[in-house]
């Protein structure tokens, strides 16, 4: 009887202890369902806000489209069109920043630094032999290093005096046909045509100065850029061309379906968070604070009958570190059947570089064009009596 009583007491204690556990489990289950429901509602709200924001931005871009036609790059300047009021699109905070950067106080500060003249160049280069555009010390071969070496001879300025800047710092192996750079000089260059010839005489054969001109004194090649256009070349032929191997990604072993490639490209057009296509920078502080939202205006697939190559043209407001190459890599796995459109959408939504496919190689990428407001491309009229609109 004592054994039976002990057993009954044990079962009673276990039951008493289990009741709160069961209650907690039920509460936890209800809480989980409520949390899941709240998360779904939050996602739906974010989706609605994103869709509304995208719609508003598209309307703003449409209103500015005609005005943006008066913008251009380097020497191909627009012919007398009025400066649009929406440099970056209506409602964009960068419009106020642009106006502030072009103010009279900025010009006075600029002259106080003995920056007598500002000059700009349109540069093309074959990036194969270089570790990128940005200067990385005397021991590494860079585009900036070569340009500065020649400009120091041309102007007599040192690197600190030149303060050479570019529209973007292309990565190792990336090429350019429309890179824009600016630099400062302490005295005017008398003949810019001769200066251009002198630069090309001193530069290596794989770097060329295509245009050399005097912009607005406050012109900044990076901060004043409104749009950039990259082209990425693919060689999808079964037998690749031996002479395009350095400038096109050879994918003939499993050629992409171009119709699927075009559909996949359309999924990446718009204003969205491209974090899944952004490599981590070596600057940890930048990784923590960087805004990864960008706008891509178009992403077109063009077949070149005269070369047999396929190019993907990407035009956007700006690009993250290795963004274009990473997008091309993701598009190719969709166009070759390894991933579906749903997989691509999941990659976009995840905002996680770790789940996205490997990026495409650098050799197929070209910086083709950079657009600026017309106002920054010519010296201001009437400033100290010099400078006329081209």
**Which of the residues are catalytic?**
171
List the structure tokens of 147: 């340009």
Half-sphere exposure of 13 (CA within 13 A, CB side): 6
User: Alpha-carbon torsion 18, 20, 26, 31, what sign?
Assistant: negative
Contact 268, 346 (CB under 8 A): no
Distances (CA, A) of 270 to 296, 298, 335: 5, 8, 20
Residue 127 CA to residue 125 CA, distance in Å, equals 6
Distances (CA, A) of 306 to 29, 120, 251, 310: 65, 33, 18, 11
Give the distance, in angstroms, between the CA of residue 201 and the centroid of all CA atoms in the same chain.
32
Contact 238, 320 (CB under 8 A): no
Residue 172 CA to residue 271 CA, distance in Å, equals 27
Residue 306 CA to residue 304 CA, distance in Å, equals 6
Quick check: helix, strand or coil at residue 105? helix
């Amino acid at each position: 009887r004592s054994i039976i009583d002990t057993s009954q007491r044990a079962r009673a204690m276990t039951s008493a202890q289990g009741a709160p556990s069961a209650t907690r489990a039920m509460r936890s289950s209800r809480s989980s369902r409520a949390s899941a429901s709240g998360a779904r509602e939050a996602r739906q709200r974010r989706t609605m806000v994103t869709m509304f924001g995208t719609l508003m931005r598209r309307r703003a871009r449409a209103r500015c489209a005609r005005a943006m036609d008066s913008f251009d790059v380097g020497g191909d300047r627009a012919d007398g069109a009025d400066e649009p009021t929406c440099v970056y699109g209506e409602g964009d905070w960068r419009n106020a920043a642009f106006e502030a950067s072009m103010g009279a106080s900025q010009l006075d500060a600029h002259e106080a630094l003995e920056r007598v003249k500002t000059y700009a160049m349109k540069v093309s280069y074959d990036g194969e032999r270089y570790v990128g555009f940005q200067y990385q010390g005397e021991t590494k071969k860079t585009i900036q290093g070569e340009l500065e070496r020649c400009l120091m001879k041309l102007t007599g300025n040192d690197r600190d005096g030149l303060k050479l800047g570019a529209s973007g710092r292309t990565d190792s192996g990336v090429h350019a046909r429309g890179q824009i750079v600016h630099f400062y000089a302490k005295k005017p260059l008398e003949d810019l045509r001769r200066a251009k010839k002198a630069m090309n005489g001193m530069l290596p054969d794989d770097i060329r100065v295509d245009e050399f001109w005097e912009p607005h004194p406050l012109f900044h090649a990076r901060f004043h850029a409104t749009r950039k256009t990259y082209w990425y070349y693919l060689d999808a032929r079964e037998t690749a061309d031996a002479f395009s191997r350095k400038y096109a990604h050879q994918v003939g072993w499993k050629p992409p379906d171009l119709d699927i490639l075009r559909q996949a490209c359309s999924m990446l057009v718009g204003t969205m968070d491209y974090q899944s296509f952004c490599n981590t920078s070596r600057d940890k502080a930048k990784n923590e604070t960087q805004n990864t939202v960008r706008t891509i205006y178009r992403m077109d697939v063009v077949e070149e009958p005269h070369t047999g190559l396929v190019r993907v043209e990407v035009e956007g407001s700006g690009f993250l570190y290795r963004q274009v190459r990473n997008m091309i890599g993701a598009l190719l796995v969709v166009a070759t059947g390894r991933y579906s459109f749903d997989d691509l959408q999941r990659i976009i939504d995840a905002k996680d570089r770790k789940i996205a496919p490997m990026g495409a190689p650098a050799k197929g990428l070209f910086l083709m064009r950079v657009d600026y407001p017309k106002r920054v491309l010519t010296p201001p009229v009437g400033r100290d009596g010099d400078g006329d609109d081209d």
